[in-house]
Amino acid sequence: MRNILGSISTIKNFMGNAGRNICNEHLYNALLDVIESMEMDVGMKPIEDSCDEKTHYKCKCGYIFLTKYSDGHRMGNKPNYCERCGQAIDWSKTNINLYPRGRSL
* Residue spans per domain, the chain: 4-41, 43-96
Per-residue pLDDT tens over the stretch 1-30: 467 778 778 777 777 776 666 557 777 777
| Inter-residue contact 53 to 69 (CB < 8 Å) | yes
Contact indicator for 87, 59 with CB cutoff of 8 Å: yes
Q: What is the pLDDT of residue 93?
A: 82
Q: What are the distances in angstroms from CA 31 to CA 11, 15, 21, 77?
A: 7, 8, 14, 34
Higher pLDDT, 102 or 81: 81
Q: Read off the pLDDT of residues 60-92 as tens digits, 9 standing for 90 and up.
A: 999 999 999 988 888 999 999 999 999 999 999
